[in-house]
Chain A
Amino acid sequence: MNFTLFDLKIIEYSFFITAILVIMIGLYGALVKKSLIKVVIGLSVFDSGINLLLISVGYITSGTAPIFSPALVKDMPLTLENIKKLSAGMVDPVPQALVLTAIVIGFGVTAVALSLVIRLYRHHQTLNIDEIKNLKW
């Protein structure tokens, strides 16, 4: 495949733009919707947007996986210079590790949120956030 420099820029930025759009949609859902389930969904979408943003920070267009396999290294001696040269075309592994952790945390938070929604529904017989206001003063 042949990309011009302009195409590459568009691909690179499109990740950020998509991520920020997803974040905005999630934020809208979490802050504006009246149904508790939709609020939780919004929270979860927001979470995914952040993860996408985090992943795209470490992304390199047409980069490879950050693994030093024998086929990649071939007969090169592993000096610092060679390692630098090889790793220049690799995506950054740290954001991926962070995202894995963040996904697990997001899963935990969503699970707790949904169990609270079940508890709220049993207590109030409604999912409308406007009708749950025992704690307002």
Chain B
Amino acid sequence: MVGSPVLFIAVPLLAAFLIPLLGMIWKESIRILPGLVLLYMLVLAVTLLGQVMHTGTIVEIIAGWKPPWGINLVFSPFTGVLATLMIGMGFIIWIYSYRFKNVDFEEAKKYFILFMMLVTGSVGIVLTGDIFNQFVFIEITSISAYALTAFYKHRDSAEASFKYLMIGSLSSMFLLLAIILIYSQLGTLNMADIASKAHLMKPEFKILAVIFFIVGLGIEAEIFPLNGWAPDAYAQAPGPVGAAFAGIVVKAGVYALIRIIFTLFDVSGTHQFLIVIGLTTLIISEMAAIRQERLKRMLAYSSLGQMGLVLVAFGIGTEEGIFAALFLLINHAIGKSLLFLSGSYLVYNSADKYINETNGMGKFLPITSFLFALGALAVVGMPPFSGFWGKFFMMSAAAHANMLLVIALILSVSLIELVYYFRVVNRIYFYKKESHIEPKKPTVNAVIAMVTLGVIILVIGFYPDVISGYLHQASQALLDKGKYIQDVLSTGQLLTH
């Protein structure tokens, strides 16, 4: 074995706190260290993922306490795919932001520490098998996300961050309430143990716990009534942080929500709830996106809409639906991150980030504009790109489940998406540059990061089979609840010394 899942949490956490110490010795090290750590994690994740696909789930026990009592990490095909995606996105965002705040050492130091904490927390949310541990990781992620949102002092970032903090901390208290409720009823905090005992819980308590969980986790998963913070936070945070929110943090939130609904409890009606809430999120966010005048707010609303789409796909509940949801999730991570990364160069020097300030940028920033258009095509779901397959698989899953209304709604919403993305692309290529805003040339590392994302979009678009094998196993792993319980609880018995 090359390494164990605990390294995904221990190594970046250690690196985050080593950054200030190493920065005293050699200033360049604060930029290099996160990249080395993320590269190591990526290699480890890909190796472990390949291994897990053949030999089955890896369950790691922390500190020698057996699963029903101690904390355990679960690296199953499902969690493995998500963790690999997050670490990969983290690595690409690191490449992009390698020269971030090049002149200001102190600011760069803070950025890299918080970024490592964000990755640690998100990967922890996905890998942990203990519900309270997951709460702790959610808090690690949110606190670093609050701080990263408030990164720029001259913007209205403190306001956005305070809004995020208010809603985030109130909701995390509800999460804690749900945990109390479960603990007082079942006397356990282990997810597999809860799943195997869930039928012992009184139904009214169970429903209350599920509601508290949905409120608590809906903030990170950006479902409709709870996502008011998101457009402000995305728009006020630095460009790479917006990409990290879309590519890493939201994925962790959706995972937590899906784990609660699919594995922990079998309350009837939650799947329909996912579909309804997903469609509401989708429609309202896309309607809001079309009337935005600022580029990043538009991207943020579009991001919310995409997450709604993912939730609908999960809500279909069949294996095909989950496969499509995972495909959409990956496409969203890659495509929307590319849009955020290239979009923040398109409006780099403008104060208000209005869409009409991107007029005619195609001539001045050819690579960035081309990649922005590519990202837009991928997110909208045009045929040769990765997004097409996601939407295509989802339509077929919905058709097999006889949900024709869902298909109709999704198609019409895709049309709205097409309109507002191509409004921007049209301005970039076919309008004359009017404003006096100097276009900012992207740095070499930013170009490398964006081109990598563009290549991934094309590769997945032309050969969806490169990932579909993994995704099929992942969706089976999510649906097979009995195997999850057995995997986790039996390891405990095996390792009794």
Contact = CB atoms under 8 A, between A and B. Distances in A.
Interface of A: 27, 30, 36, 39, 43, 46-47, 50, 53-54, 57, 94-95, 98, 101-102, 105, 108-109, 112-113, 116-117, 119-120, 123, 132, 134-135, 137
Given A39-B166, A46-B170, A119 B150 contact: yes
A135 B166 contact: no
A94 to B, nearest CB: 7
A74 B38 CA distance: 54
Interface string B157-171: 011111101100110
Nearest to B183: A57
A109 B146 CA distance: 9
A134 B159 contact: yes
Given A105-B136, A112-B165, A30 B170 contact: yes
Contacts of B177: 50, 53
A112 B165 CA distance: 8
B189 A109 contact: no
Nearest to A133: B159
A57 B183 CA distance: 8
B266 interface: no
22 contacts: A27-B170, A30-B166, A46-B170, A46-B173, A47-B173, A57-B183, A98-B132, A101-B132, A102-B176, A105-B136, A108-B139, A108-B143, A109-B139, A109-B143, A113-B165, A117-B162, A119-B150, A120-B158, A120-B159, A120-B162, A134-B156, A135-B232
Nearest to A31: B170
Interface string B137-150: 00100010011001
B173 A57 contact: no
The B interface, classified by DSSP as helix, strand, loop or mixed, is helix
Contacts of A39: 166
A119 B132 contact: no
Contact of B150 (A94, A101, A108, A116): A116
Across the A-B interface, the 9 shortest Cβ-Cβ residue pairs: A119-B158, A134-B156, A57-B184, A105-B139, A116-B162, A109-B169, A135-B232, A120-B158, A54-B180
B54 interface: no
Interface of B: 132, 136, 139, 143, 146-147, 150, 153, 156, 158-163, 165-166, 169-170, 173, 176-177, 179-180, 183-184, 189, 232, 236, 297
Contacts of B163: 135
A94 B153 CA distance: 41
Contacts of B176: 50, 54, 102
Contacts of A116: 146, 150, 158, 161-162, 165
A94 B189 contact: yes
A53 B162 CA distance: 26
Nearest to B292: A137
Nearest to B139: A105
Nearest to B173: A50
Contacts of A30: 166, 170
B162 A113 contact: yes
Contacts of A112: 143, 146-147, 165
Nearest to B184: A57
Given A43-B169, A94-B183, A135-B159, 8 more contacts: A46-B170, A95-B180, A98-B132, A102-B176, A105-B136, A108-B139, A113-B169, A116-B150
Contacts of B132: 98, 101
Contacts of A134: 156, 159
B484 to A, nearest CB: 23
A50 B136 CA distance: 15
Contacts of B236: 135
